[in-house]
Structure 1
Amino acid sequence: MALAARIKFGTDGWRGVIADDFTYANVARVGAAIAASLHDPRRSGLAPYREWGVPCRPAAAGLIVGYDTRFLSAEFARHLGRAVAEAGIPVQVTDGPVPTPAVSAAVVKRGLAGGAMITASHNPPQWSGVKFKPEYGGSATAEITALIESHLPPHAPEIGDPPVEAVAIKEEYLARLRDAVDLRELARAPLYVVVDAMYGSAQGYLASLLRAVRIPHLAVRSTVDPLFGGKKPEPLPENVVPLKAVIRSLRARARGRIVVGLITDGDGDRAAAMDERGQFLDTHRTAALLVWHLSQHRNLDGMILKSFALTDMIGKLADHVGVPWREIQVGFKWAVEDLVTGKAAFAGEESGGYGYAWHLPERDGVLSNLLLLELVAATGKPLGALVEELFELVGPHHYARRDLALPTRLEVMERLAAAPPERLAGQRVVKVETLDGLKLRLDRGWVLFRASGTEPILRLYCEMDSPAAVQLVLGEAERLARGGLL
């Protein structure tokens, strides 16, 4: 691919296929653009600095670069770091793979001008990417990434051998987590935890915290495997079969303790869970349980943000406890303003990213898992029983997603937006919503059509009152997307 190929930041950073468009040359171009954006005097006029009260730190405050466990991630991180350092900006590169929220936490604690993370998050193993984290330690806004893109050079810059410092940030991030959750209180509960890092860069973090307070636990898929065991490192049912097998084999070994399965994705900013029977708790049930826990045991004070693709349970729970809530577009960059300014206390998205204003304006899968443990400890009930109680309160909600590899996904979206159906799978379309994609509100739930911002995929999201209804609606939605007649 030509060096002048277009580089575009999507919902959370720029991503590409390794050795195709994600090359050393293009990584250097992104590094040079980040450096130029930090030097650009227009930066101080952007909304986070002009309106949110975020201090605009000078480029001389420095940049930190972290990386995940993907192929060549360490080498790409150092290459990007050298491209930034070439512009005279002090650069630190982590001494090993780290979760994305650890980089964000380091930006805030160390008073840096920003951070970059080499990761493609949940994407397949052949992908890599670059996420940028400004001074506030969260997803970059669209105007910040637009400023970076405006400085992209047409060719890879010449890079000498500028100094780049290797740093360890694991312990300072763990200390932040220990401040957020009372681990000794968790240790008093009869827990047995199975931690599934999905071969990602959060491996060892939860285990370290649990080990320190002697909570019985077992770590699975906690080694470096750039191929992620042949699966996408995304918390979906088909990708967590090994965890299910382990949990189902633990009944005797747990000796009456409550078994909890905790999952983080490829770069540790997403979370999901599995109950004591090996039943997967999708990101919607996980989000709802977190909101329920925060409202019941954490004195949740502030608005709740939910992405357009996230469960209706969030709004119902917020209404139940009298907390305001609002839907936002998909992508955590749409949540950071209200988290930074304190207007919102919690933000959640369908992909499993949950952020907390009192911690970081950033998705944090490790903290989210700790809060699930906190919920189990506070109630003395396993996750399966808690989901049943949740359904008693807000009604049954079942969800599934299909990802369609459609080269014409943008044309499909235009066709559907121009002529949405009046009925789908035997249900009336009672409302059409277009905040992000096309959501059809049906008699018994909803289905959302949305083109991915990071992959050439059309995503179909569906929530209904029964698993059978979900599959029926998704099947008809796929036929509609592919041009079939209903």
Structure 2
Amino acid sequence: MTSRAGTPAQSSDLIDVEALIDAYWHRHPDVSDPEQKVVFGTSGHRGSSLKTAFNDDHIAAITQAIVEYRAEQGTTGPLFIGRDTHALSAPAQSTALEVLVANGVDVLVDEFDGYTPTPAVSHAIIRYNREHPGQPQADGIVVTPSHNPPADGGFKYNPPHGGPADSDATNWIAERANALIAGGLQDVQRAEATAVGTYDFRTRYVEDLGSIIDMQAIKDSGIRIGADPLGGASVSYWQAIAEAYGLDLTVVNPEVDPQWGFMTLDWDEKIRMDPSSPSAMASVVARAGDYDILTGNDADADRHGIVTPDAGLMNPNHYLAVAIQYLFTHRPGWSEDAAVGKTLVSSSMIDRVAESIGRTLVEVPVGFKWFVPGLIDGSVAFGGEESAGASFLKQDGTSWTTDKDGILLCLLASEIRAVTGRSPSELYRELTERFGDPAYARVDAAATKAQKAALGKLDGDAVAATELAGEPIVAKLSKAPGNGAAIGGVKVVSEDAWFAARPSGTEDVYKIYAESFKGPDDLKAVQAEAKRIVDAALG
């Protein structure tokens, strides 16, 4: 059967929004069932109401747990809350507001009752705390499952540093929330959400963009920019940016549809708003020739997709390498000691770029939360991950966001085009001429739950192999070099190749990320050997 990936969604692919919202209010989870418990992944609790994994009970309990956690931490300032365009986001925000108001939290929602990108919430937290030193600190909640399919909901907490909460916080919140649900929600306070303040997220975010992006250069260049929000929370932001800075910028598709019926199907024939996926971005890529730079964002705008006329959709690793090369040579206000941050499954091209510009590389486990300390104190000027998420410092070297900012990275592509006269994809080809042209891919391998658990705790020393695709192994890592944190898997490195293996959090597989600077054939050899090495280590 021919795959429908990259083809327009059909009516049979669309969710029943009414049924989804009805399930949110009327289904009640059994937290003795692991599938119905509150579980925080790298970006909050996610699930579908139709699977009794994201319902009113969950959000009431999580919000009450956040209230108790922030009180324990001494966080007594305002709480900024924003939501994206998923169908479950509005009811979840409604639930959260009832709990926050009942608990006396000073909560601020969007002034226009609109959609709020994740980076706008992070930016608001950081800006407030910077402008109110010595006063009670602000924090935030973002109601979003990011790029997940339309039937999903998501809910994440950002402490006063503005970025994703760390594992200590999320484990505490999840454990308390599950206890509250198991107790029949008796300790959850709720009240009509009438005493709610407002905040103009959009204006404050847009007006500050000039402090981090050379907006004048973009305007002066006259380049044609297309921005596709993919039906997400950035929709009104792009129009506001165009108007505020006088850019030749077109919002390619301003439609907001909780069914996302205008999307093309992702690789697995599901609707998924992933701007780094060639299948999900097929309709956007088809218009590549209409603009000098064409971009996409996911539903909460924390991810970016960069489309150029000469190359179509850029691989996220390629764009990160170009962004780092450009920024560290065009930001004189940054400290000479500020480092480059990357997740350990991102391309080694970044390592070679960082070395060439004389910058320290900070390699951390998967998850943007690991970049937060460095982005806050300025010791890391850029943090990026292979899944098309990144942020960086303002031109004066201070923090902008400590969460991923897809709008920012899209605008950076336009700055790069305006300042250099070349597209990011052209600049990446120049990097390959200097450093080699790596082949990179991620594949899945079957694994039992026991094997996944073992892989998550695997020590690098348990890897018996001494060679990887014919090259001597130079490192066997179970902890990230940049901060010593556990990888939750293993990474094996040779001079010209590497692989990393991590268990999936949702499926009975483990993920193999691999890269080779010797080309696609060597990459296949690395992938095959990676599976043998991991299987042998797992017994």
Q: TM-score, normalised by structure 2?
A: 0.78
2:301 aligned with 1:268: yes
For 1:27-106, what aligned pairs fall within 5 Å after superposition? Answer: 27-40=59-72, 43-44=73-74, 57-58=75-76, 61-94=77-110, 95-106=113-124
Tell me how far apart the structure 2 counterparts of residues 311 and 29 of structure 1 sit (CA, whole Å).
39
Deviation at 1:276, TM superposition (A): 1.4
Amino acid at match of 1:121: S
Residue 50 of structure 1 is matched in structure 2 by none
Corresponding residue number in structure 2 for 1:350 = 386
Q: Tell me: CA distance 1:459–1:123, structure 2 relative to 1, closer, same or farther (3 Å).
A: farther
How far the C-alpha of 1:415 sits from its partner, in A, is 9.7
Q: Work out which of the residue numbers 394, 398, 412 in structure 2 matches 1:371.
A: 412
Change in 2 beyond 3 A, CA 1:377/1:12: same
Contact 1:272 1:286 in 2 (8 A): no
TM-superposed CA distance for 1:15, in Å, is 1.9
Distance in 2 of aligned mates of 1:11 and 1:150:
16
Cα 1:182–1:395 shift into 2, 3 Å = same
Say yes or no: does 1:137 pair with 2:162: yes
Aligned to 1:290: 323
Deviations 1:274-296 (A, max 9, x none): 22134321111111111111111
**1:196 alignment partner, one of 218, 228, 244:** 228
**Residue segments in structure 2 that go unaligned for 5+ positions in a row:** 1-28, 130-136, 266-270, 480-486
**1:27 Cα deviation after fit:** 0.6
Q: Report the CA distance shift for 1:220/1:9 in structure 2 as closer, same or farther (over 3 A).
A: same
- Indicate the SS of the match to 1:309: coil
1:433 has 2:477 as partner: yes
Q: How far apart are residue 443 of structure 1 and its match?
A: 5.6
> Once the 2 structures are TM-superposed, how far is the Cα of residue 462 of structure 1 from its aligned partner?
1.9
Alpha carbons of structure 1 residues 205 and 71: separation in structure 2 relative to 1, 3 Å = same
Aligned to 2:41: 10
Report if the CA contact (8 A) 1:15-1:454 is conserved.
no
Shift of residue 103 of structure 1?
1.0
**Aligned equivalent of 1:392:** 433
Percent sequence identity is 28
- The one-letter code matched in structure 2 to 1:316 is R
* Structure 1 residues 66 and 12: alpha-carbon distance in aligned structure 2, compared to 1, 3 A threshold: same
CA deviations over 1:413-440 (Å, ceiling 9, x no partner): 2697655655666666553222212222
**Structure 2: how far apart are the matches of 1:223 and 1:474?**
41
In structure 2, C-alpha distance between the alignment counterparts of 1:206 and 1:308, rounded to whole Å: 32
Q: Identify the residue that residue 446 of structure 1 maps to in structure 2.
A: 498
Query: Is the 1:107–1:115 contact (alpha carbons within 8 Å) kept by the matching residues of 2?
Result: yes
Q: What amino acid is the match of 1:18?
A: S
Deviation at 1:177, TM superposition (A): 1.6
Three-state SS of the structure 1 residue aligned to 2:441 is: strand
Aligned to 1:317: 353
Deviation at 1:481, TM superposition (A): 7.1
Give the Cα separation in 1 of the matches to 2:446 and 2:307.
28
1:331 counterpart residue number: 367
Paired residues of 2:416 and 2:423 also in contact (CA < 8 A): no
Give me the TM-score of the superposition, normalised by structure 1: 0.85
Give the Cα–Cα distance (whole angstroms) in 2 for the partners of residues 456 and 121 of structure 1. 23
SS at match of 1:297: coil
Q: Provide the C-alpha distance between the structure 2 equivalents of 1:91 and 1:322, rounded to a whole number of angstroms.
A: 44
Aligned equivalents of 1:11, 1:283: Cα separation in 2:
19
Shift of 1:270: 1.7
Matched pairs, number: 461
Deviation at 1:66, TM superposition (A): 0.8
Change beyond 3 A, Cα 1:110–1:278:
same
State the Cα RMSD in Å: 2.9
Mapped partners of 1:165, 1:274: distance in 2: 40
What's the CA shift string for 1:8-54, capped at 9, x where partnerless? 322222222333211110110000001111222xx25xxxxxxxxxx
> Is the Cα contact below 8 Å between 1:117 and 1:131 reproduced in 2?
yes
- Which consecutive residues of structure 1, in runs of 5 or more, have no partner in the other structure? 45-56
